[in-house]
């Protein structure tokens, strides 16, 4: 226990009752070795007039402090999600690039080189007793390169696991509707949960399609119907002629979900039911 950090006075010692900021600082950063009859001390010291006033002040201050702390911690979590989703994309991309190199290299030694990360993992795992010749023919550097691909692939998976664990804590409703990874991508594209919550639905619909939108605005292409939300089954799994409508419906619900996640944090299971119903209707009748 750090003696320096421990005083034996209540949180209100030295705090001006009219100065909320110093009160909040005292609650958050103060400390004491033992409890004491703080309400009585507060009255005796003249911090408040009576016990009931003390509890009133205490309620306001503790609530304000906790709210700020929660907001800060969630902001940190949002930043973490953004970094994780960007890192995951980076890691998956470079794993695929190096896997291509492994495949091209292995093609020089074997007649049947496979492709992709799975094949690189095979090369890295090449230890089976029945493939001794093959192992002998395997360049040590190629094995090592393949092991890098395997490690990157594992890293990508670990990042995905983290995203899937943390995103529903921070954005439960967006995660419910979009799945945690797409939710994380939307938050990352918007630059935060708050900025996502403040965007109009039409913008959310086109997040990740900025290039296509710019091409459209420059008169070089038709208007894009959807951005990253295309990967959602409710968009990509809807017939092309209704896809724009489905994207608009999904973006609408996601926008509501983001606002609830940011401003209240309640879980609203009914959002999912409403979205399900709306998409079913669009797929049936196109509206």
Partner 1 sequence: MTGTLPTGVERRRFDSNERLATRGQPVYGEPTDGDWRAWDIRRSKLGAMLDRGMETGLSGDETVLYLGAAAGTTVSHVADFAGPTYAVEFAARPVRDLLTVADSRPNLFVLLKDARKPEAYAHVVEPVDVIVQDVATRGQARVANENRRFLKQNGRLLAVVKARSEDVTADPTDVFETFRSQLEGYEILDTERLDPLHDDHLAVVARPTW
- Applying CB under 8 A, the residues found at the interface with a copy of itself are 79-80, 83-84, 86-87, 90-91, 94, 97-98, 101, 104-105, 108, 139, 141-142, 144-145, 148, 151-152, 155, 158-159, 162
Say whether residue 227 binds partner 1 (CB under 8 A): no
The CB-based long-range contact list for 122-125 (8 Å cut-off, 24+ gap) reads 124/149, 124/150, 125/150
Measured from the CB atom, the residue of 180 and 224 that comes closer to partner 1 is: 180
Q: Six-digit token pair at 254?
A: 């996601």
CB of 103 to a copy of itself, least distance (A): 11
Say whether residue 10 binds partner 1 (CB under 8 A): yes
Say whether residue 165 binds partner 1 (CB under 8 A): no
CA separation for the pair 226, 216 (Å, rounded) = 13
The CB-based long-range contact list for 196-200 (8 Å cut-off, 24+ gap) reads 196/258, 196/262, 197/255, 197/258, 197/259, 197/261, 197/262, 197/263, 199/255, 199/258, 200/255
CA separation for the pair 228, 225 (Å, rounded) = 10
CA 255, 260, 263, 265 dihedral sign is: negative
CA angle 266, 270, 275 (to 5 degrees): 120
Tell which residue, 160, 203, 152, 200, has the closest CA to residue 180: 160
Measured from the CB atom, the residue of 62 and 201 that comes closer to partner 1 is: 62
Say whether residue 55 binds partner 1 (CB under 8 A): yes
From residue 235 to residue 274, the character string flagging contacts with partner 1 as x (rule: CB under 8 A) and all else as - is: -----------------------------xxx--------
CB of 170 to partner 1, least distance (A): 8
**Residues forming a β-bridge with 7:** 32
Judged by beta carbon distances under 5 to 8 A according to partner kind, the member of a copy of itself, partner 1, none in contact with residue 101 is: a copy of itself
- Rule CB under 8 A: choose which of 19, 56, 97, 211 binds partner 1: 56
CA 198, 202, 208, 212 dihedral sign is: negative
Say whether residue 36 binds partner 1 (CB under 8 A): yes
Judged by beta carbon distances under 5 to 8 A according to partner kind, the member of a copy of itself, partner 1, none in contact with residue 144 is: a copy of itself
Residues near partner 1 (CB under 8 A) are 1, 5-7, 9-11, 26-27, 30-39, 55-56, 58-59, 62-63, 65-67, 69-70, 73-74, 77, 169-170, 264-266
């Amino acid at each position: 226990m750090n003696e320096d950090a421990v005083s034996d006075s209540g949180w209100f010692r030295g705090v001006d009752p009219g100065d909320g900021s110093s009160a909040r600082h005292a609650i958050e950063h103060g400390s004491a070795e033992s409890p004491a009859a703080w309400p009585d001390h507060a009255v005796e010291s003249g911090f408040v007039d009576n016990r009931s006033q003390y509890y009133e002040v205490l309620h306001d201050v503790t609530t304000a402090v906790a709210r700020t702390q929660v907001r800060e911690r969630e902001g940190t979590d949002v930043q973490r999600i953004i970094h994780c989703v960007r890192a995951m994309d980076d890691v998956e991309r470079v794993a695929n690039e190096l896997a291509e190199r492994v495949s091209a290299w292995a093609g020089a030694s074997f007649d049947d080189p496979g492709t992709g990360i799975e094949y690189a993992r095979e090369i890295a795992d090449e230890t089976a007793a029945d493939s001794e010749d093959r192992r002998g023919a395997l360049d040590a550097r190629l094995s090592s390169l393949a092991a890098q691909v395997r490690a990157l692939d594992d890293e990508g998976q670990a990042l995905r696991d983290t995203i899937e664990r943390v995103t529903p804590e921070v954005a439960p409703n967006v995660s419910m509707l979009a799945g945690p990874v797409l939710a994380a991508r939307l938050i990352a594209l918007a630059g935060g949960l708050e900025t996502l919550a403040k965007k109009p639905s039409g913008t959310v619909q086109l997040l990740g399609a900025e290039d296509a939108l710019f091409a459209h605005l420059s008169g070089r292409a038709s208007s894009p119907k959807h951005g990253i939300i295309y990967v959602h089954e409710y968009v990509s799994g809807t017939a092309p002629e209704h896809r724009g409508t489905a994207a608009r419906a999904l973006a609408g619900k996601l926008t509501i979900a983001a606002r609830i996640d940011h401003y209240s944090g309640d879980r609203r299971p009914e959002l999912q039911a409403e979205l399900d119903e709306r998409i079913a209707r669009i797929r049936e009748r196109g509206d």
